[in-house]
Structure 1
């Protein structure tokens, strides 16, 4: 291999040919090679090149808070097709990103592919195998019997997944897509192109992406924060070896993650004192998070997602139970304390940060103990929608790793509010619904199946739904109310607010009143089996 070249972002952008399949390593603002993507967009504006790109984003590229990511190339003529685990998201009050305008306008074929499957597709392309056989996503929007990952009519016309029979069983088959260009990011490159990740909040999947391109004769561009002399990186610190890298672009001002220039605790260089983490203020959301925490078992490895459940690690801190479980998140952190808001996807004080493709293998095979996730809608079969809602899809962003995580998880706790927009009050250990929400979240049929209740029952998965007014479980006979909050009327506030008939457990219990008091609840965790 020729010596790795150090080029400017604009010089690197000129190397990308028309019609290329380009894979980008990023998770929203985390690890996003934004300087290179910006240069590609600027070159297209100036020269009309490169044209007709297909881009692959295993997790997501960019956000709505300063890291434009895919929006740099979301221009008619520049972008022809996109496959992503998720897309830039933002508040419903904000104008949608350019990529969402292209998706909803049916300008290009767009697909929401589970993040783990997208990484699997890279691995198969690297080994020159025909594609991915998987059961992840069956009976969800991923399945061609539903939407086949398609986000618009143009995508429906160009299917990327089929159902096949192999060895007497039905599988989903994703043919390999061979990328010609990889745009990845690291902290440091030496003069030979070796890459290390010492300031990164996650490694993500750059090695798999670089391998898929290198093994097929393509171009690997690495954006880094700084350049080091050849031979100065310790071999155990090198994540992507220089034999896989063609071009280095130095961008010293790259953000560590969204709205975060650099925090050494995110990259594991220091550990923050546990007392420095804020615990949630007392409100209804905290009551839900507390009840979710009661489902944990001592010693479990627990995946955690966005929403109410993201506060559960801080509930454990407040209760003096930090360390009782090990948190595992799709961007690769194991242990520590998963972070919130703009820093979601990172953790402080992690025990390890592994590459995302390996983390998704762990999830897809069900090696972890349980997952704490959110819901937008639940339907009569127990299916959950987290990925599509109404006319402003950029608010939900897509499913990311949700489908990979839930496919074989032994236990899942979904959390959320029973209705949207309800006026809720807490007083003296009771919940009062002062004004009912205008939008029901327990519906006859979810707008999009992100998680299949039917498949969960068939596989024997344990599924719990925690809301402010009740706890429900998915049983073979249907969704069943097993607990109700103090102060809540079962008929008026629960059964009448669901579009479908809920079953009621014959031994209906009250949710603990302690959940609805500001003081710690004295959390005790069961022992793992």
Structure 2
């Protein structure tokens, strides 16, 4: 039964009404996900067919690619519209979008977090340069991902002779927020969480929209147990609190203080040493094209002109770059960041992307994206799904399926130097390497270097205007962005330029006056840890 603000999950989600806009948070793998509340919403809908026709908003990916996270909301009738930063963690929701059974939209992850803050502050939406020239620009799709989606989420403004996007505000009727603990008064702490994400911004948006803020926590503390500086969401913002003693750091990890950054002194040193040993062991695993691209990409870390550049790593091949730097014990030469708000530490990958062990700092996501958007990011390592002759990249819709950009647009558009990393082709590719050369034994059935990308998630022409240094590194060849388009300037040793590269592309790149050959060390297995 309800005890002030404390109530059961069923009682809390009963506050959600038909047609509400519900803001969610999470980062994949269970990162700061209010799993107990999500499952309670699903249980209520399956039992009563209510609530109905929700609009669901989330900045980053949420789920396990099976039944958790956004999949709890992937029921026709429960939702009518989803505005998601990243969709891959819920194939069920992707399918609803593909079949036009919901209205599917995307927003850049950082834009979504910052927009929540603007909504909460009562300002007229978010005015930002992020998204210009991409799918979020109304001239290129307006964030719409299927035919059922009819509205533009942004409009173009001109201020002082410069173009901007205004992302339109909308009320948040309910925020489902995850935290660590609540005291008897309803003050909220994040002490044991592996990130902050956009929890404060989301709660603010709902509170000042006249909506309801529902917080899931792991424990209930006595009044006065929290120091003022430990409170991240004040009681005045909170309407309902649900205690879930089974709350976990991730779906598979009950609790680990290394992920919440709570280790200090000897315990931290021992944990960091163990982390390094694991990374070193991983570097000794089977060598392949991912490691070759990572080695080539890592060279770009230390020729930025900065003594200690600020770095962001994306998913896919870029996480191999992070592991390589960790295995070499070179983290002290960079400032490592991820968009979730975390600095330093040992980055996780796969389902745990967004987690870092023994981080040195944790900021709110909106603040992290402010730092990126204002020019604080020196180098970004990102993956790519498609690349076209103008240097534009698509990661947000592949094969007609809504993927979403996550923080990709915010990062790619704002880093001074962008290094896209990936393979030249996909599906059925067979390669041989490890002896200082690369040989293509079987070409791929899917070409990733296309005449025109299906959707613009990074705009090459806009990158030229911004003066960014942009590289596209594959296992077979290296390319760079020029005012005239994509230029090939380097190939792998052992690769035939015509057969293995140019014939596998849908456009003819510019060819550099002198085409170099990548260092054989990138393709030598014995050097995996060096």
> TM-score normalised to the size of structure 2?
0.93
Residues 423 and 130 (structure 1 numbering): CA distance in 2 closer, same or farther, change over 3 Å?
same
Distance 2:153 2:434 in 1: 53
Once the 2 structures are TM-superposed, how far is the Cα of residue 179 of structure 1 from its aligned partner? 0.5
Residue number in structure 2 paired with 1:93: none
Distance 2:278 2:228 in 1: 34
Distance 1:185 1:363 in 2: 25
Residue number in structure 2 paired with 1:445: 452
How many residues are treated as equivalent by the alignment?
A: 511
SS at match of 2:140: coil
Residue number in structure 2 paired with 1:468: 475
Once the 2 structures are TM-superposed, how far is the Cα of residue 462 of structure 1 from its aligned partner? 0.2
Residue number in structure 2 paired with 1:284: 289
Residue number in structure 2 paired with 1:512: 519
Indicate the larger mover: 258-267 or 494-503: 258-267
Residue number in structure 2 paired with 1:484: 491
- 1:84-103 matches, cutoff 5 A: 84-89=84-89, 96-97=91-92, 99-103=93-97
Distance 1:522 1:8 in 2: 51
**C-alpha offsets along residues 368-420 of structure 1, whole Å, 9 cap, x if unaligned?**
111000011110000011111114x26xx311110111122100000111111
**C-alpha offsets along residues 112-158 of structure 1, whole Å, 9 cap, x if unaligned?**
11111112221221111221222211111111111111111121x23
Indicate the larger mover: 492-501 or 373-382: 492-501
Residue pair 1:377, 1:385 contacting (<8 A) in 2 also: yes
Indicate which of 171, 174, 179 corresponds to 1:178. Answer: 171
Distance 1:60 1:286 in 2: 26
Give structure 2 stretches of 5+ with no counterpart. none
Distance 1:504 1:52 in 2: 53
Residue number in structure 2 paired with 1:350: 359
Residue pair 2:327, 2:529 contacting (<8 A) in 1 also: no
SS at match of 1:323: helix
Distance 1:207 1:428 in 2: 52
Distance 1:440 1:411 in 2: 25
Residues 510 and 209 (structure 1 numbering): CA distance in 2 closer, same or farther, change over 3 Å?
same
**C-alpha offsets along residues 432-481 of structure 1, whole Å, 9 cap, x if unaligned?**
11111122111100111110000001111000111111111111222112
Indicate which of 421, 437, 445 corresponds to 1:415. Answer: 421
Residues 427 and 183 (structure 1 numbering): CA distance in 2 closer, same or farther, change over 3 Å?
closer
Matched, 1:79 2:65: no
**C-alpha offsets along residues 294-326 of structure 1, whole Å, 9 cap, x if unaligned?**
110251110010001102122123334232112
Indicate the larger mover: 126-135 or 367-376: 126-135
Residue number in structure 2 paired with 1:526: none
Residue number in structure 1 paired with 2:332: 323
- 1:10-409 matches, cutoff 5 A: 10-28=10-28, 29-65=30-66, 68-89=68-89, 96-97=91-92, 99-155=93-149, 157-270=150-263, 271=268, 272=271, 273=273, 274-277=276-279, 278-280=281-283, 281=285, 282-297=287-302, 298-391=307-400, 393=401, 397-409=403-415
Distance 1:498 1:15 in 2: 54
SS at match of 2:331: coil
Residues 404 and 4 (structure 1 numbering): CA distance in 2 closer, same or farther, change over 3 Å?
farther
**C-alpha offsets along residues 28-48 of structure 1, whole Å, 9 cap, x if unaligned?**
221111111211221122222
Distance 2:10 2:192 in 1: 24
Once the 2 structures are TM-superposed, how far is the Cα of residue 184 of structure 1 from its aligned partner? 0.2
Residue pair 2:33, 2:62 contacting (<8 A) in 1 also: yes
Moved >6 Å (runs of 4+) = none
Give structure 1 stretches of 5+ with no counterpart. 91-95, 524-529
Residues 363 and 513 (structure 1 numbering): CA distance in 2 closer, same or farther, change over 3 Å?
same
Distance 1:314 1:110 in 2: 35
**C-alpha offsets along residues 4-36 of structure 1, whole Å, 9 cap, x if unaligned?**
511010011111122211111212221111111
Distance 2:49 2:485 in 1: 56
Distance 2:311 2:293 in 1: 17
Name the structure with the higher helix share.
2
Distance 1:188 1:483 in 2: 54
CA RMSD of aligned residues (A): 1.8
Residue pair 2:293, 2:421 contacting (<8 A) in 1 also: yes
Distance 2:242 2:60 in 1: 22
Residues 185 and 320 (structure 1 numbering): CA distance in 2 closer, same or farther, change over 3 Å?
closer
**C-alpha offsets along residues 182-235 of structure 1, whole Å, 9 cap, x if unaligned?**
110011111111111222111111111111111222211000111111111122
Distance 1:444 1:504 in 2: 16
> TM-score normalised to the size of structure 1?
0.93
Distance 1:258 1:453 in 2: 38
**C-alpha offsets along residues 154-196 of structure 1, whole Å, 9 cap, x if unaligned?**
21x2332222333333222222111111110011111111111
Residue pair 2:82, 2:104 contacting (<8 A) in 1 also: yes
Residues 258 and 453 (structure 1 numbering): CA distance in 2 closer, same or farther, change over 3 Å?
farther
Residue pair 1:430, 1:487 contacting (<8 A) in 2 also: yes
SS at match of 1:264: coil
Once the 2 structures are TM-superposed, how far is the Cα of residue 260 of structure 1 from its aligned partner? 2.7
Distance 1:299 1:279 in 2: 25
Residue pair 1:372, 1:414 contacting (<8 A) in 2 also: yes
